[in-house]
Each structure stands twice: as C-alpha cells, then as structure tokens.
Chain A
Amino acid sequence: MALQDKYKALTDAATAAGISDLAVREQDGVLYIDGTAADGATKDQLWDIYNQIDPNFASGDLVLNVNVAVDAAVTHAKVITESSNLNIRKGPGTDQPIVGKAAHGEVITLVNRSNDLWWLVRTNDGEEGYCYAQYLEPQA
C-alpha cells in the first residue's frame, strides 16, 4: 500500500484523465500501472507526474505501462524520429535486415499494427516492412 500512497497523485491523475482499462497493482516492491491513454499528451502528462514524484525515475519501484490508443480507422503515420531517417526492416526486430528508409517527417501508410512494438508500413515508393512504432505518429 505504501507505493500506492507514494504514487497517489499519479493514479488520481490517470483516473481523472479517463485512462481506459486502468489497473494498479503492487507486487514484490514494485507498483504496476497499466492502461490506455486517449492521446500522447495525456501519456506525457502522466510521465511528468511520475518524474515529479520520483526524479529521474531512479527508485525502480514503478512500471508505468501506458499506451496511446490508436483509432482502428487510422491508415497513415508520420515519421517522428529526432532528425534521421527511420529504418524499415524485413521483420519486427533490429536484428532484421534493413529493406528501406522513411524520411523524417514523411507520412507513410500503415499496413498492419498487430504487433505493438513494430508496425508494418508501406512508403510512398512502395517499400514495405517493419518500423519501430515509437517513431511513428498516427495521423487522424
């Protein structure tokens, strides 16, 4: 219960933000918070609160697993790397060969999002392969 108290501001904010499928459990000295946020801003807000309670996430007593909901109807995503091109790979994993690149800021077609971490995409040049989902921003 102690961890739930420590991170109460976070769970309160998650509740207020309407995080869906919100689950909060404590096990072996770690608090697990899972759920789905409506948008990226909501997720970032929760991470800000986490960082306020536990500066630089140094305590190792929370796993904040909050994903951003993606509308099933979304068909395109923008490449949101820092500045570089995004690798497109043959399979889902950095051990897979690179089959193409998508430019920073380019909007590409989403083919399949069944893997949470690696999305199957197609570029405007017709190259198809897997990209790391963290670097793709679904376009409404």
Chain B
Amino acid sequence: MKTTKLLMSAGVIATLFFAACSPKDGDIQTAVKAKEASEVSVAVTKGEVTLTGEVADEAEKAKAETIAKAEKGVKSVVNNLTIKPAFNTTAPVVIADDAALTKNVADAAKDFPTVQTTVKDGVVTLKGEISKSSLVKLMQQLSVLKPKKIDNQLTVK
C-alpha cells in the first residue's frame, strides 16, 4: 500500500513538474500558427491542438497536421481542416438583360442564316435547321452571352 501511495504521489509530482516545464497552450498556439499557412486556424487546449479552416487539397491538410505534431509540447492534433471544393458554387449567376442579349444574339446568329432566334426574358430560342458542326459553333457563341437558358429547337441535319 505504501509503495502504491508513494508511486502515486511521485506520479503527481512528476506530472506537475512536466506540466510546469512544457510550453503553455498560448505559446504553442503562437508557435504553431506562425508555421502554418494563413488559412489554417489553430486552437490549443492542454497541449491538444485543433486545426480548422479550408485548404486546397489533401496534401495541404496532411502537411498542416505534420507541422502541428512536430511542435514541442503538442500531445495530440485534431485535424478538422476541410478541403476547398474544386469550384465556386456560390458566385451569383449573371444573366444579360434582353436588350444587350438580343443585340449580341443577332450578331452571333448572323452567320447562321438557316437559324431563327428569339430572345425573351433571357431565354434564347433557336428554330430552323443547322448542320452538326455549325451547331457546336453557334452554341459556343451563344453561351458566352450570359443567357438564362438556350432553348434549342433546331433540327440537326
């Protein structure tokens, strides 16, 4: 019994001793943050580092974790970093007003005499007939004009 108690108190003392010696959470936070990429947020609680934020890919995520683990005084790392989606999903959809769209559609369709175009509320409607190779060209030219929709009713020859 005595030995156990002695060991326990030794353990407590040792813990206190090491706790006193190991870097404080604030210091760890500052040191890790300085080494991480700017988009990585760092929080430290009792030597446990939590990483949050959005990074470009898996490699960046792993690298951030390696950096944190290498820091003196860090006991564990919780890697809550997320990977940025490959594309923007929130940018507003820009739709041209009918006046500009009508003019630009007329310009684009000028060289496709077998095609009739109408523009209403941003919807470009195509009627008539067209060859396969011309169809791709026409669609490419119309798609950059910021229509709401291209209603292609063309007969492809």
Contact = CB atoms under 8 A, between A and B. Distances in A.
Interface residues of B, number: 32
Contacts of A65: 143-144, 146
A70 interface: no
Nearest to B130: A56
A63 B107 contact: no
Contacts of A93: 103, 107
Interface stretch (B11-19, B34-42, B85-93): B85-93
12 contacts: A14-B87, A23-B89, A27-B93, A30-B149, A43-B140, A51-B136, A56-B154, A57-B150, A63-B143, A63-B146, A93-B107, A95-B103
Contacts of B87: 11, 14-15, 22-24, 35
A116 interface: yes
B149 A34 contact: no
Contacts of A60: 149-152
B107 to A, nearest CB: 5
Given A47-B140, A94-B106, A56 B91 contact: no
A117 interface: yes
A54 to B, nearest CB: 10
A22 B88 contact: yes
Contacts, number: 76
Contacts of A47: 136, 139-140
Interface string A40-70: 0001000100010000111011011111000
B104 interface: yes
Contacts of B135: 56-57
Contacts of B132: 56
Nearest to A50: B139
A63 B152 contact: no
A21 interface: yes
Interface in B97-125: 103-104, 106-108, 110
B148 interface: yes
A57 B137 CA distance: 12
A93 B99 CA distance: 13
Given A25-B89, A30-B148, A32-B93, A64 B107 contact: no
Contact of B144 (A11, A25, A95, A116): A116
B152 A64 contact: no
B66 interface: no
A124 interface: no
A32 B91 CA distance: 10
